[in-house]
Structure 1
Amino acid sequence: MNDLLPIINQDDGRIAVSGRTLHEFLEVKTAYKDWFPRMTEYGFTEGQDFCSFLSESTGGRPATDHVLTLDMAKELSMIQRTERGKQARQYFIAVEKEYNSPEKIMARALQFAKEELATLRIHSDQQAQIIGELQPKADYTDRILKSKSLVTIGQIAKDYGKSARAMNALLHELKVQYKQSGQWFLYACYHDKGYTHSETIEIPHKSDPAKTFVRMNTKWTQKGRLFLYKLLKDAGYLPLIEQVDEAM
């Protein structure tokens, strides 16, 4: 089906359309800022039939736009009583029919299941690492490292003259950690060594502050720092202070 009007795919799975885009397509002579409030008098409710947001106008200044439900878009098109309105309404009916087709419903269900599975995998990885960290093996190193201070990967990276991103990539190459959906996790063989301390934190979604996603914040213990020092040294990487000593 040809895209007569751009369709907005919302986070909740529903489809919608921009008020300004519809206004432009309908070739309404009245300015949008005057036309839209007049249209809402037909019984449309904000938060139910439409939502307001600011978009960049052609002049670069934020302009008020609205996300309209497909039902509202169809009614506004019909209200215009023009050929363009009829064309838009028929297009929205066709879009809705395709959206509710068995194939599209199944595709959305599969995509939702895929996203849920990815989330479960991340939670599983987070929990596996945290559980392993809570059960460190007692050894000589544990007894001599009395410091309880924790350090970030960025602080460790700075000792080597690297960025946190570069250090994370290096530890990935050295088979210490792997990346899953934007987060770094230790391989299972390091979970119970006492090298890290992690906690999960909830972060609001940018698009919808009412929703949150869980991210893990991991810091390295002094034991972990010593492990990385030995590992990196064996791989030919020395902290800056030792590079200076060698140069002298």
Structure 2
Amino acid sequence: MVNHEGGTSSMNQLKTAQMPQLKLFKDGIVRIMETDTGNKVVNARDLYEGLKVKTRFNDWVVRQSGKYGFEEGKDFYSFLGKSTGGRPTQEYILKLNTAKELAMVENNEQGRTVRKYFIDVEEKVIHVKQPKSRKKSVNLIFRQEMDIAKTLASITGVKEGIAYAVAMERAEQKTGEDFSAYKRLLPTATHETGFLNPTKIGEQIGKKSRVVNKLLQERGLQEQRDKEWRLTDEGKKYAEEMPYTRNGHSGYQIKWSESVIDVLYALEVMQ
């Protein structure tokens, strides 16, 4: 293996005579160790055994490190192993990327298996780290939606509670989180309003959305203006108009409270 001065790393050149302090991170096909700073490393002998290399360890290390130009301090660290009565053994601690590359260049099924094992471990480490950043992302999106809702309410006159309910709905869609527990904290009237469109109403009364819109119009709750449904003064008792922008178009979407269903049932009975 090559050191930074360009020479071959040998036992006489070693400055580190003691094995670094490592703890076991994963005991699988090849043991993966962890340094005190959290870096994942592999003992070259463990990799050698995991790859089931046929040549002698020292010959394999010298051949592969020379061929692929691994550098001490960058790709690996060397140290003297414990003596068993003779000369101390030359040992190497490989960075995980170095171990992956050595597995890959074996160019056989065992090498591919070991490399995939290293990659799987790396991915699990990444997933373990994600919750903190994900939590930060969810909090940021939630705050952004709530800020937008508050601004929208102040500009358009929409009730703050209604705007907040929609903000929670949007935050759910963006993050995949469930905010139903928070929605229940909203006042009942506020919570109900903003969740029913004609399709949802139709599902409850057994009507198509087109028929529901006609019934709402006949009851005097909405009217068409410029090919768009808008609330009448009477309709404002049961719904809120929510401005939207979609695909370059803007307009209003009506969100009805469940109390409007009773009104439509009454209309059906009278007819």
Normalised-by-shorter TM-score class: 0.3 to 0.5
- Bigger radius of gyration, 1 or 2? 2
> Normalization by structure 2: what TM-score?
0.36
> Normalization by structure 1: what TM-score?
0.39
